[in-house]
Amino acid sequence: MKANKKKTKKETESLSNKKPETLIDKKGIRLDGRKLDELRPVKMEVGVLPNADGSAYLEQGKNKILVGVYGPKEAHPRHIAQQDRAVIQCRYHMAPFSVDERKSPAPSRRDVELSKVIREALEPAVFLEYYPKTSIQVYIEILQADGGTRCAGITTAALALADAGIPMRDLVVACAAGKADGKIIVDLMDTEDKVGDADVPVAYMPNLDAVTLLQMDGNLTVDEFETALNMAIEGSKQLYAKQKEALKLKYVAVEEVEEE
């Protein structure tokens, strides 16, 4: 698994979880040095799991996420099969070591909800009607969590679906916006998510102007919400370019591997 190789210097930095007094300084700079509308550094790679039909790995800030896709294959158990389309079975799962305090590997209520909303974020993209009676399995593993894992999980899962060669209307890409210290910010990291005032995760298909996941918790006026939604969509568009790059890179990289 390539994920292991990627645990570089970021991993060794302290992951301490002190609650800061302010999240944004007077110059509008955030704790990790970003501007209000700046995304975290992101790395994406597809085709990382030999056994899966499609796979992708993503790092966004300290998030490390691996997705494997299997199928379309015969749906099991049988009763979940739909006569006129494929079903997506999606599991969002956090590794026990992905957060400060060990997380039980058993699915929490949060995991159940996220698996559902992530599935519903991906479904609009996939031509499910091409594969009746089958199931497409999407396994999302959060190896390390740093805020915004549902969004990063969706971005990665869309790449893995594309890598599996499953026909899609568009890639789904996700990004959160939120509010901290009275300011609307994009791509919240862990501390901003926990200490901040609101979190608005958004999944988007840029070619169709389609919002496929939208959640919010916190407190925003209607105008603030509109700003946050716009910011999350802008962030998504930036990530979308990187997704496409990562998909293209696979085919460039294949040749190099064969030459070795």
106 in contact with another protein (CB under 8 A)? no
258 in contact with another protein (CB under 8 A)? no
16 in contact with another protein (CB under 8 A)? no
Site for another protein (CB under 8 A): which residue of 1, 208, 253, 254?
208
Helix (H) / strand (E) containing 156: helix 149-163
15 in contact with another protein (CB under 8 A)? no
Specify the residue, 55 or 191, whose C-beta has the smaller distance to another protein: 191
Binding part of the chain for another protein, among 6-14, 134-142, 210-218, 249-257 by CB under 8 A, reads 210-218
Specify the residue, 84 or 256, whose C-beta has the smaller distance to another protein: 84
What is the nearest approach in angstroms of another protein to the Cβ of residue 14?
19
89 in contact with another protein (CB under 8 A)? no
21 in contact with another protein (CB under 8 A)? no
**Pattern 162-201, another protein, x by CB under 8 A:** --------------------------------------x-
Q: Which residue has the tokens 């060669």?
A: 165
DSSP 207: G
Residues linked to residue 44 through DSSP beta bridges, in sequence order: 58
What the block records as the tokens of 116 is: 């559902």
CB 174 within 8 A of CB 65: no
**Pattern 214-233, another protein, x by CB under 8 A:** xxxxxxxxx--xx--xx--x
What sign does the dihedral 160-166-168-170 (CA atoms) show? positive
- Tell me how far apart the alpha carbons of residues 167 and 128 are, in angstroms, rounded to a whole number: 9
Helix (H) / strand (E) containing 249: helix 222-259
Report the relative pairing of strands 134-144 and 87-94 from DSSP bridges: parallel
Count CB-CB contacts under 10 A for residue 129: 10
- Tell me how far apart the alpha carbons of residues 78 and 81 are, in angstroms, rounded to a whole number: 6
What is the nearest approach in angstroms of another protein to the Cβ of residue 160?
18
Nearest one of 155, 153, 151 to 171, comparing CA atoms: 155
54 in contact with another protein (CB under 8 A)? no
Question: Which burial class, exposed, middle or buried, applies to 157 when counting CB atoms under 10 A from its CB (0-12, 13-18, 19+)?
Answer: buried
**Pattern 116-145, another protein, x by CB under 8 A:** xx--x--xx---x-----------------
Which residues contact another protein by CB under 8 A?
82-84, 109-110, 112-113, 115-117, 120, 123-124, 128, 200, 205, 208-222, 225-226, 229-230, 233
